[in-house]
Structure 1
């Protein structure tokens, strides 16, 4: 009747590792997965003064990408870019022009248009507060003095 505990460990793997999970819908979809075996496991030392690194497989079965486009961490908006996007959204600039503006400011920027849409959603939620979209609509109608 031993007690099983979760061990504190970190496993680092390649984002192209594993296999593509097929959907039941039958539609074709692309995947960047190629079964890359790269894996590093890290566990705390017994005296908890550091970490023990164990390289399970240090090789990749694919080359380096030409660009980091599509990686969510690299494509994140910086605080300066978030402010720039917020200013352009307030001026009702189309999303594709906002993206072009970001790329003009920094040619190495790999932000995708989905990040612009997501940031707009965050801004709208901040404006709306705890109200639902319908409640916010009624508040705007009331504030503008419309009769309904």
Structure 2
């Protein structure tokens, strides 16, 4: 029986949940996720979880934050004073904004709070600091 190795293309169905059981992502109702194992196309823990699995096999694995989207980094938050907020922008807490650094790098940041003192942005991935549990079913393996 063929088992997944680094460099194989794996096609999998998956369901990702948080510790409280909330589903944050699933392939249900969609085509299977296809990725080259070991290439960094998925989070490290997911890549390692499929190693050794065979077509038709299902397993559940919990991936610690460090092997998923990383630990939450308070250094990725910033207070933006009102004078640096474009006049035509009316930010609201919960919105995601595209932010550009002076060197041209563009990234998404969550608006955490808006007050008369400006706004607080958080550039951490929404799943940073969270352990992720995946139920993974291998559909196909391409060598």
Scaled to the shorter chain, the TM-score interval is under 0.3
Task: Name the structure where strand makes up a greater proportion of residues.
Answer: 2
User: Taking structure 2 as the reference length, what is the TM-score of the superposition?
Assistant: 0.23
Task: Name the structure where helix makes up a greater proportion of residues.
Answer: 1
Bigger Rg, which one = 1
Greater length-normalized contact order (CA 8 Å, ≥ 6 residues apart) = 2
